[in-house]
Amino acid sequence: MPPKKTAVAPKTSQIYAVVGSDEGAVKSRARQLAEQLTPKDAGDFGQDLIDGAADNADQAVSRIHSAIEAVQTLPFFGPGKLVWLKDVSFCGDTVTGRSTQVLAALDQLQQFLSAGVPSGVFFLLSASEIDKRRSFYKSITKIATVEQFDRIDTSRSGWEEEAESLARGLAAERRLVFQPEALEMFVRLAGADTRQLRNELEKIDLYLGEKREIDSELVRNLVARTATGVIWELGNAIAKRQLSRALALLDQLLFQGETPIGILYAAIIPTVRNLLVTKEILETYGVRPPSAPYQFNNVITRLPQEAQNFLPRRKDGNVNAYGLGIAACEVHRFSQPQLIHGFEECLKANTQLVTTQLEPRLVLSKLLVSLLAP
């Protein structure tokens, strides 16, 4: 189940393009489409493959001209062939992609394709970087069947739902089924990149053998931690009030190049907010903490509507029950005044990060100490 797929209706059924920022999804779909378009009885002569990964403008122009020549050359055997300009690197907003030579060659390719390709010949272009502002992209959408696969933006609120839907679909291809809490954990550890998700599911598939159900313990033991996963683990460490682990994870994220303000907004503030919200719910309504995060959804559904109106929500408008459930399981470690003070400290840290020259690691580590120290 590819992410964010869009298709543009073609004027011809002989020209195809697979593009988008999700490199794994683009390559997977392009390979699948190439198999479909290559004549079955043409043997080795059924496909002309041109490597679109160019190091400079001269190479890019050469690859474009090779593609045009390949389309013009009629198949020697069989009724047709596929010309595949594969893994193109010069359609994006790069130094090579902005070259006047390359732009002129792409314009030549577009005009050539617009005039029509010979009968029995199919043309396929695949590129994970393409500048949609350029005339080449706008023109290709008018003459080709265009399939677009964009990577899920994990900086946006609500990205988890899209990633969970993608992971569920990829798992179904292998006849794997996630337990609800395992799916959320899987996405938060593995991230939203299609290739990464496929690799992790392949690993799980090999490990499970005939068993088809994925539980949270298996995910915790097998799935590699991406930057997104480390952010999620930092939130868990804060909720569990594990200061030394939280500081170590902070260092890891900074070493990996995550921005301090991004760490604050993606991991620290949401966790403190969830803890404060669940503390208020438990104390105001006399609710007992759940024994597992996924059980908290039942608590939420029983709350009066005025209480539900103030709960943090995802992009689709639904309450992030699992995130609140994690907080509810751990909130006994904090008092309400501590959490209120912690939220105020988050605001102070935010101000220091954007308005002062203080060392970001110092600001965030001081915030963690203030939140988690006994």
So what's the pLDDT on residue 228? Answer: 76
Segment-wise mean pLDDT, segments of 10 residues, the chain, 374 residues? 50 84 90 90 80 94 95 77 94 92 94 90 92 90 91 70 88 92 86 88 93 91 83 91 95 93 93 94 89 82 84 73 87 95 96 94 96 91
Whole-number pLDDT of residue 249: 94
Quick check: 321 and 300 in contact, CB under 8 A?
Answer: yes
Among 49, 53, 177, CA closest to 127? 53
Between the alpha carbon of residue 224 and those of residues 204, 205, 238, the distances in Å are 11, 15, 21
CA distances from 198 to 129, 203, 206, 227, 314 (A): 21, 9, 12, 17, 25
Interhelix angle 100-114/135-143, rounded to 10 degrees, is 10
The C-alpha torsion from 127 through 130 and 132 to 136, rounded to 10°, is: -80
Q: How far apart are CA 292 and CA 210, in angstroms?
A: 27
What are the pLDDT digits (tens) for 173-184?
A: 999 999 877 898
Q: Which pLDDT belongs to residue 367?
A: 97
Tell me the C-alpha distance between 290 and 321, whole Å: 12
User: 19 vs 10, 89, 90, 143, 335, CA distance in Å?
Assistant: 15, 11, 12, 15, 51
Claim: this prediction has a pTM higher than 0.75: no
Query: 159-222, what's its fold?
Result: Helicase, Ruva Protein; domain 3 (1.10.8)
Q: Which residues pair with 290 in a beta bridge?
A: none
Name the DSSP letter for residue 319: B
- 199-224 exposure pattern, b = at least 16 Cβ within 10 A, e = fewer: ebbeebbeeeeeeeebebebbeebbe
**The pLDDT of residue 312:** 80
* Pair of tokens at residue 340: 């209120």
Q: How many CB atoms lie within 10 A of CB 284?
A: 10
CATH assignment of 5-149?
3.40.50.300
Domain segments of the chain as ranges: 5-149, 159-222, 230-372
Local structure of 147: helix, strand or coil: strand
Q: What is the helix (H) or strand (E) element at residue 19, kind and residue range?
A: strand 15-19
What are the tens digits of pLDDT across the range 305-334? Answer: 888 888 887 666 777 777 888 899 999 999
Q: Which fold has domain 230-372?
A: Zinc Finger, Delta Prime; domain 3 (1.20.272)
Phi, psi of 63 (to 5 degrees): -65, -40
Task: Determine the pLDDT at residue 208.
Answer: 93
pLDDT of residue 6: 56
Cite the beta strand spans of 251-293 per DSSP E.
none
Encoded tokens for 220:
């915790």
